[in-house]
Amino acid sequence: MNNINNILEKISLLSEEEQFFIADIISKRTHDLKRMQIVLRTREVEKNYETGNFASGNVNDLMKVLNDN
């Protein structure tokens, strides 16, 4: 946490334009990270589907499976 505070203090010394530029970069990076998480989760889901490792049914069926575990 101390590193983050140091970084934020240094950023606050920059011009507004530089601060907005950094905010834009961080926003794009976090967007890319979220996109990669979705890609990885999608691959996992596809693998489970291909191997038959999934449950199907209506809401009541799925709730029963969850409650039985």
Q: Does the predicted TM-score (pTM) go above 0.85?
A: no
Percent of the chain with pLDDT over 70: 99
Higher pLDDT, 57 or 38: 38
Which are the contacts of 12, defined by CB distance < 8 A and separation ≥ 6? Answer: 19
Task: Tell me the residue range of the domain where 35 lies.
Answer: 2-68
DSSP 15-67: -HHHHHHHHHHHHHHHHHHHHHHHHHHHHHHHHHHHTT----S-HHHHHHHHH
Examine the pLDDT at 29 and tell me if it is beyond 90: yes
> Residue 30: pLDDT band by 50, 70, 90 thresholds?
very high
Domain count for the chain, please give it.
1
